[in-house]
Structures are given as structure tokens and as C-alpha cells.
Structure 1
């Protein structure tokens, strides 16, 4: 028996349930994050538990944040409180479960903290850009690095991520974040800021909840656009890969970017470099041995002269329509469950 803890009716939940049924398994039960937060849920004894993304539900977002002011749609605020609430809810599930979780909560806690995730990867020899933790703009500038990515410690989907460059006293920043009076919002388009006061205000606002800063690795380009790869690693093997291409430094597909020519990119990299990159993704996933799957964001350096891991995502497997051997990511995960052994 499988239980999915997620947002009832959400496409992530429904795609996984459909994959399980198509594989001949009993239809998974669904427990909503709202019910978990309220303490009104039960798990079937011995059920395998899949934790699914809590996103796209404003009420769950409010419940995670607790008694503080609820965030408006798209508002970036209280990320540390959201993280604490999410982890507390996940622990409730863990304590109630008598069967295994496909993403252990200890690993989930690291995956949703970019500072801890980066440190863990580096400690295990996974290539990552140099990085450090910060709380505001002055710390970022004082590092003296000419080009950096500034990331909220607990953000996701590029929310609040800033590609920042310094050049002879001038600044250039690309981000989907936008100030509106005293509030900061995430928008579905990339803004380019050159006013230092505005950039500093955005970073300081994000810094209240903690920042992770990385050296900007110039990415390889293909067909006139820079790209990175989302690699879904399932049961230890690199499985589904999509290239995310952009004319700005931010490649997330929901920001108006597009999937790229994966075959062309693979050919340009060459099989030796491609195989090395996939092996790196598998090494990154091995840092989370109890997780059935993770999504690894991998960057090839300009000219394919090396590569590095930018992120590892707990819920990075939503790649609609991408089939490998006739299976989407969810069908591949269901198939892997038949021989998956929990190693955490």
C-alpha cells in the first residue's frame, strides 16, 4: 500500500497515482498537507509514504507560517518560518508512519536548506561552485567576487534568486523578484536591475531569512542560449534529463524559458563529458541515500570545460511528457519501487 502526502487533486499527486494504477498497484491513498498541519490524519499500517510538494495551496502556505501574517499571492516573506512549519509537518508524518518514507525527513531538511545541501555535496566531493552564507547585501559585496548567484536559503522555483554582477562600481542583477512598496513579490518574468539601492533592498529583504551565495559559473550555451540540465535520479541512476535554455542567467522553465535540444547538447558535450556529468548527478543523489528520487540541476561550464551541481531538489521530478523507455518520471519511480531498498 502506498500513501501520498500532498495537495489532493494537484497534478503531481494525480500523475503519481495514475502511474501506480497503470503498473497494477492498488490506487494510492492521499493525505492532504492541510490535514497533517491540523493533526487530522491517519496512515495505513505499514504503508509506504511518499511526501509530495506542498506548493500551490495558499492555505497550506499559511498553516506552515503559523500565527504570523499570511503571505499574499506571490509574496516572498517569512521563508524561514515556512521552512520550520514544513519540517514540523513532515515530522508529524514521519512519527505516524510505520512503513518507509520515499524521502526521509532528515534528508528533506537538508534538501530544503541550500546552505546545508551545498556543504554536504562539497564534503562528499561533488563539484559545486564556491559558496558562503550571508544575511545581507554588504556581506555579498564585501566578498569581492565579481559575479555571484544570491539564493534564499529556503527558496524554491527560482523565487528570490538573483544573478548579480559587479563591474567598476556598477551593478547588474537579474531576478524574478520585484519590490512593491514595502513588499517583495516573485513574478513570472525576469527583471534586470542596475540601481544598486534597489538591488541592495531586495537582497536585504531576503537576507532576513538567510542567504546562500555562490560564485557565478558561466554556463555553456547551445543554439544561442545558455542552458543547464535537470536530471532526475531514480534509485541511484540518472534517468530523465531535460535541458532548460534561456537568454538570461535564470533557466527555470516557468519563467518563460524553453526546453532545449538535448540530443544536440549531448553531442556537443561528447560522450565522455556527458557520462562524467551523469556520474556526478548520481554522486549528488548518493548524498541522500534514503531518497527514492531527487532532481539534480547540473551546469556545464562554458565550452563544456567542466561541470558543477547547482541544486538538488526533493520534488524535482515534474517533467510532463518526457518519456524514457516509454515511462515518464512517475512510472519510472513506481517501477523502481519493486526493487528499491531503503539505505538511510
Structure 2
């Protein structure tokens, strides 16, 4: 692949990710990426159009490298993905209602397989396609996460199919199917475990965990009384709960960013951007019933390594198989996400030893090797406390390269990736 293979960036044009990448390409003497907005693409699909129509006038003379960026931070895109998820739900419902007995058995088998690896097909909250396009933005509100994820998966698949119809030899920065897998915390952690990557032990259960009652029963059976319950498709600490239950008294505590309130008899949920602690059984019941019904990753709450009074984990960027930028995320609480204004520090500043950084880098690089069709991601890795720490992979973020004020070999994250792109071009088909 020549150095100047065109880059098509599908993302949100006005956000920090797009500007960071374009500025890096300019500084590295590379042609700017052609930018296609998710909002325009989703609107074109609703009007019956295709990706091909949008790229006709884009001056792409040859098959581009396509980078799919994060869809967040744009309300019109969020509504569009909810609408696409509603459309997919309605199509599935129509297939089931119109199917014969034999066809229905086949559909139910597919649904069962999907439910076993992904958030529920519908989720507790369901919005009609028509309602999605008229939603008014409420800052922080979490709308129908399972439906949103269904729309996002459909978006990724349609981009994959339509791009290859336009350019049969197109290459993706990160393969759309991999992005969907990385987004699904449940399926991703099982994928990593199958490939021998150390991940926190998952809560085992003889029946699907769809509410607080089944969650508590599974915790009792497994003798796992401290767990993280994470919205399977959430990001930025949205829908993450550090949940603990006293095995003797049954008392429970839930620490989370999720706020909730009743509006006209309906519970709504939102990301407060700060942590709060629930101890009321009624409130915890409402929270956990919603979270489990929408689809949750449930794993052992493991003690992290500490620095002073803080626990920490590390976001490690890997591109072209190489470990680059790394940042420590420190917190006095169990949840370390930087979105919560937690402290950040360079590992060298904190005195993290070369041996421990080597463990983290190896875990991150081995994680990326399980996605051979993808080129870069931010890998969240924790070390356990004690004299003989072990590294565990917590999360894989396909868009985890937006790291502020962090350099590697004198380059920021986007400059470093552009440099690697020239030396180690994307070669997967």
C-alpha cells in the first residue's frame, strides 16, 4: 500500500478526534482524510440511499483505507442509531410474526444465539422508529442502550457491505465486525478468555441474569459477593456499577455514575458524570433490574494495584502490533474512568517499574493479536496488588487513542499512528 493511499474517515466532523487526526496528518506532510459524517450517512440511509452515493464526489480515485471513529458526542447521530435499532427490532418482530412453525424455530435458534453473546434484542426500554427522530436531547440521559447497540451493530455491518460493493479491495483501519465485538463487553471478554488472555473471572449462572433477583442468586451460588456490573455496550463509565452484597445480612451497596428519577410514573436513567452510592434496597432494585434487562457484563471485583491512597489501571495504546502511549488512571473509588475527572499520570512519573510496564504492554499486545483484522485500540489493563501482581485486561476500546498531553517518542497519539501507518501499513483485507 503506498504511503499516500487515501484515508476515508467516517466519524463526527467537528469533534476532537477528527481535528486531532487531521492536524497530525498535516504536521506529518500527509494529505487530509476525506471525512464522511455519521449524521449524513444515517440520513442518507433513511432516505433510501447508499454509501456509494455519498462518495461519488469525494475525489477518492482509488480504494481508501477506512477509519471508523467513535459515534458519540453528537445528538443527531445518537437519535439516528436509536432509529436504526428500532427499525431492526421491527424487522425482527415482523419476521417472527409472519414465520411458519419451522421458520420460527430457526429464528428462535438465531435469537437464542444472539442473546447468549450480546445485549438483549430489545431491552427493557424500547422506542419506536418514529419516536426516535423526534426525541429532545436531555443531557446525560441514557436512552434504550440495547436498542442503541442494535442500531450501531447494524450501522457497522451496512458500512462493511456497502464499502466493499464500491471498492472490493477496500481495507479498514479496524474491521467493522471487530469494532462491534470490542463494544460488546460480554462477548469481548469471552473472546479474550478463549484466546488465553487473562480477564477478571465472569459471574457464572445457571440461568440468564436479567434482574437483581437472578443477579443475587448467581452471586450467592458463586460465592462472589463483590462484582462489577457493566452495561454491555456502555463507555466512559456509563452504566458501570461496583456492587457488593453482605453474605450474612443481605445488605447491599451500589457505587455508580448512574442517576435515576421517576417522571410521570416511568423511571429514567442518566449519567451524572460523578459517582454516587446507593444503599436503599428499593433504589438498588430499580437500578439493577434496568441494567440487567438491558444487558450487562458481570465480573469479579478484583483489587487493583495502588499508588498512595489511589487504585489505578492503565490505558495502553497499541497500533501495528506496537505498544505506544500509556496513561495511568487513578481514583480513590473503585471506578477509574477519566470521564469522572479522575487523576491521570504518566507511568514513568509514578515510578511504575519496567517489569510491570512490560507485563501491561505484553497483555495489551497479546490482546490486539486476537483481532488480526484490526490495526489499533486502547487496551485497559489492571495489575493486581501485592508482591506478585498479575495483569488483567479490563476493556478493549477501538477508539481509545484520544489521550491528552501524552507523548511517545516525541509524538502525540495521532502523529505516532500516522508515522506507523507509513512504516507498517494496514495490510489486512
TM-score if structure 1 supplies the norm length? 0.95
Counterpart-to-counterpart distance in 2, 1:220 and 1:256: 19
**Aligned pair partner of 1:327 in 366, 387, 411:** 411
Question: Which position in structure 2 is the counterpart of 1:14?
Answer: 19
Question: Which position in structure 2 is the counterpart of 1:25?
Answer: 30
Counterpart-to-counterpart distance in 1, 2:76 and 2:293: 23
Shift of 1:77: 2.7
Counterpart-to-counterpart distance in 1, 2:149 and 2:275: 25
CA contact (8 A) 2:171 2:426 kept: no
Runs of 4+ residues deviating >4 angstroms = none
The answer on 1:147 being equivalent to 2:226 is yes
CA contact (8 A) 1:298 1:311 kept: yes
Question: Which position in structure 1 is the counterpart of 2:244?
Answer: 165
CA deviation map 1:80-139 (0-9, x unaligned): 211121122223322333221101111011011111100000000000011147322122
Counterpart-to-counterpart distance in 2, 1:252 and 1:171: 23
Question: Which position in structure 1 is the counterpart of 2:119?
Answer: none
Shift of 1:62: 0.4
The answer on 1:176 being equivalent to 2:260 is no
3-state secondary structure, aligned to 1:134? coil
**Aligned pair partner of 2:325 in 220, 223, 240:** 240
CA contact (8 A) 2:312 2:382 kept: yes
Larger radius of gyration: 2
Counterpart-to-counterpart distance in 2, 1:224 and 1:134: 34
CA contact (8 A) 2:326 2:346 kept: no
Question: Which position in structure 1 is the counterpart of 2:338?
Answer: 253
Counterpart-to-counterpart distance in 1, 2:351 and 2:363: 15
Structure 2's unaligned 5+ residue stretches are 1-5, 84-128
Question: Which position in structure 2 is the counterpart of 1:225?
Answer: 310
Question: Which position in structure 2 is the counterpart of 1:81?
Answer: 147
Counterpart-to-counterpart distance in 2, 1:285 and 1:207: 29
**Aligned pair partner of 2:40 in 30, 35, 58:** 35
CA contact (8 A) 2:305 2:312 kept: yes
CA contact (8 A) 1:148 1:216 kept: yes
CA deviation map 1:42-62 (0-9, x unaligned): 263411111011100011100
Shift of 1:271: 2.8
Shift of 1:315: 0.8
CA contact (8 A) 1:266 1:274 kept: no
Shift of 1:273: 3.2
Counterpart-to-counterpart distance in 2, 1:8 and 1:341: 23
CA deviation map 1:269-322 (0-9, x unaligned): x33333122101111111111211111111111225212111011111110121
The answer on 1:275 being equivalent to 2:358 is yes
Counterpart-to-counterpart distance in 2, 1:334 and 1:187: 35
Q: Which moved more, 1:93-102 or 1:213-222?
A: 93-102
When residues 237 and 147 of structure 1 are mapped into structure 2, their CA distance, relative to the original with a 3 A threshold, is same
**Aligned pair partner of 1:316 in 400, 415, 427:** 400
Question: Which position in structure 1 is the counterpart of 2:66?
Answer: 49
When residues 261 and 15 of structure 1 are mapped into structure 2, their CA distance, relative to the original with a 3 A threshold, is closer
Shift of 1:170: 1.3
From the two aligned structures, give the one with the greater helix fraction.
2
TM-score if structure 2 supplies the norm length? 0.76
When residues 332 and 342 of structure 1 are mapped into structure 2, their CA distance, relative to the original with a 3 A threshold, is same
Counterpart-to-counterpart distance in 1, 2:324 and 2:356: 17
3-state secondary structure, aligned to 1:109? helix
CA contact (8 A) 1:2 1:47 kept: yes
CA contact (8 A) 1:50 1:103 kept: yes
Shift of 1:324: 0.7
Question: Which position in structure 2 is the counterpart of 1:127?
Answer: 198
Structure 1's unaligned 5+ residue stretches are none
**Aligned pair partner of 1:336 in 420, 423, 426:** 420
